[in-house]
């Protein structure tokens, strides 16, 4: 009898033990693994979620790939060199559109009279122009390299498309050089000015920035580039643009450093005896890295547009180098009889800067931790 009671007590204890421990085991087994997302992981997720930014990055990579592969494309696909001159084929229209261009010129001559354009001709010539262009494209696709000028020729008989993809090498290189130089100078000066804010060091830096900012930059660049041939090379022009383009970056970095220099981790670094340079470059600089990345991307686009403007004015990249800016130099006067000379470099500049600006705008949102994906 006693043994039966003892056995019953043991059975109850065993059941209670299982009853008490089983929920813990189930809870432990059913607890999902919590994935910890890092800051850069969140940035990558935001970028992939933003379809416009992804498309802009792909467009930018396509433009960079075209310019990097310019020698191979020119030799094996287009069959032309950017310096090949053919004066007998000056300002020729695209080979596939020669017939269509003649019909368009006939129509445009009717617009030169006092009666205005003869719009009634358009319904008749547009289908014929499209048909002739389609036939010309098929013939160019079947022709070998060197037999078709896809975007026509310039005033010296050089292939416009070949010069455009070669010109991107110069323009993009200048953009990268200018962004690197201006960011390097602006970050260093901004760190020093922000760390020593409200001191004589900050006053000296602000005086230099105000002095350089008061100089009419366009006239200064025109004078220097027109006087010294060194500044008409890609490296010289990039140095000139970069050495006068760091002030805005410096002011932006100064404001950010001024706001974080009194935070707890900075005070703790000072308390343990960290050097000034270690505090600035090890603790302060990473906190403004996202701003620097966005500004650097925008500086590339700004440098490309600045180079194009200076080259168009005749004080930028000089011959024999081809850039998008000097391709447009002198072309606006021929816009009516050779519009491809203006449209080709203009389209390349537009697509490149558009991709850069959209990428920078997407990165600005992705690097901001307060902006959430919708």
pLDDT of residue 373: 59
108-125 pLDDT, tens digit per residue, is 877 776 767 777 778 888
Top pLDDT among 11 and 307 is at 307
Confirm if 67 and 168 have CB atoms less than 8 A apart: yes
Confirm if 59 and 355 have CB atoms less than 8 A apart: yes
Question: Positive or negative, the Cα torsion across 301, 305, 308, 311?
Answer: negative
Q: Which residues of 242-270 are buried (b: 16+ CB within 10 A; e: fewer)?
A: bebbbbbbbbbbbebbbeebeeeebeebe
294-330 pLDDT, tens digit per residue, is 899 999 999 998 888 888 787 888 777 788 888 887 6
How far is it, in rounded angstroms, from Cα 167 to Cα 75?
16
Q: What is the pTM of this model?
A: 0.81
Q: Give domain 160-367's CATH architecture.
A: Orthogonal Bundle (1.10)
Place of tokens 């432990």: 28
Residue 9 pLDDT class (50, 70, 90 cuts): very low
How far is it, in rounded angstroms, from Cα 249 to Cα 191?
11
178-207 pLDDT, tens digit per residue, is 999 999 999 999 999 888 888 888 899 899
> Poorest-confidence range of 21-30, 54-63, 80-89, 209-218?
21-30
Helix (H, G, I), strand (E, B) or coil at 337: coil
How far is it, in rounded angstroms, from Cα 101 to Cα 109?
12
Domain range annotation of the chain: 160-367
The answer, yes or no, to whether residue 127 has pLDDT greater than 60, is yes
């Amino acid at each position: 009898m006693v043994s039966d009671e003892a056995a019953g007590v043991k059975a109850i204890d065993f059941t209670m033990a299982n009853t008490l421990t089983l929920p813990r085991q189930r809870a432990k087994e059913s607890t999902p693994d919590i994935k910890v997302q890092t800051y850069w992981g969140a940035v990558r997720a935001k970028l992939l979620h933003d379809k416009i930014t992804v498309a802009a990055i792909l467009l930018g990579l396509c433009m960079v790939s075209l310019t990097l592969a310019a020698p191979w494309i020119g030799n094996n696909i287009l069959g032309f060199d950017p310096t090949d001159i053919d004066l007998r084929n000056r300002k020729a229209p695209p080979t596939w559109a020669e017939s269509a261009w003649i019909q368009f010129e006939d129509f445009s001559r009717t617009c030169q009279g006092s009666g205005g354009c003869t719009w009634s001709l358009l319904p008749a010539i547009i289908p014929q122009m499209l048909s002739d262009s389609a036939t010309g494209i098929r013939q160019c696709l079947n022709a070998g390299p060197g037999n078709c000028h896809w975007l026509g020729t310039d005033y010296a008989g050089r292939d416009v498309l070949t010069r455009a993809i070669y010109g991107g090498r110069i323009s993009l290189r200048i953009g990268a050089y200018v962004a690197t130089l201006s960011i390097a100078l602006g970050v260093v000066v901004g760190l020093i000015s922000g760390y020593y804010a409200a001191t004589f060091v900050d006053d000296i830096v602000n005086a230099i920035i105000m002095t350089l900012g008061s100089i009419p930059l366009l006239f200064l660049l025109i004078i220097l580039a027109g006087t010294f041939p060194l500044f008409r090379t890609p490296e010289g022009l990039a140095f000139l643009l970069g050495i006068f383009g760091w002030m805005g970056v410096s002011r932006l970095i100064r404001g950010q450093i001024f706001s974080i220099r009194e935070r707890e981790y900075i005070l703790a670094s000072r308390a343990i005896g960290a050097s000034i340079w270690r505090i600035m470059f090890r603790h302060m600089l990473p906190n403004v890295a996202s701003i620097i990345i966005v500004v650097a991307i925008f500086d590339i686009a700004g440098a490309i547009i600045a180079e194009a403007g200076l080259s168009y004015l005749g004080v930028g990249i000089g011959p024999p180098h081809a850039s998008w800016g000097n391709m447009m130099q002198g072309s606006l006067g021929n816009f009516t009889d050779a519009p491809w000379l203006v449209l080709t470099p203009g389209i390349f500049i537009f697509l490149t800067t558009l991709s850069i600006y959209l990428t920078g705008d997407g990165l600005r949102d992705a690097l901001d931790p307060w902006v959430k994906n919708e």
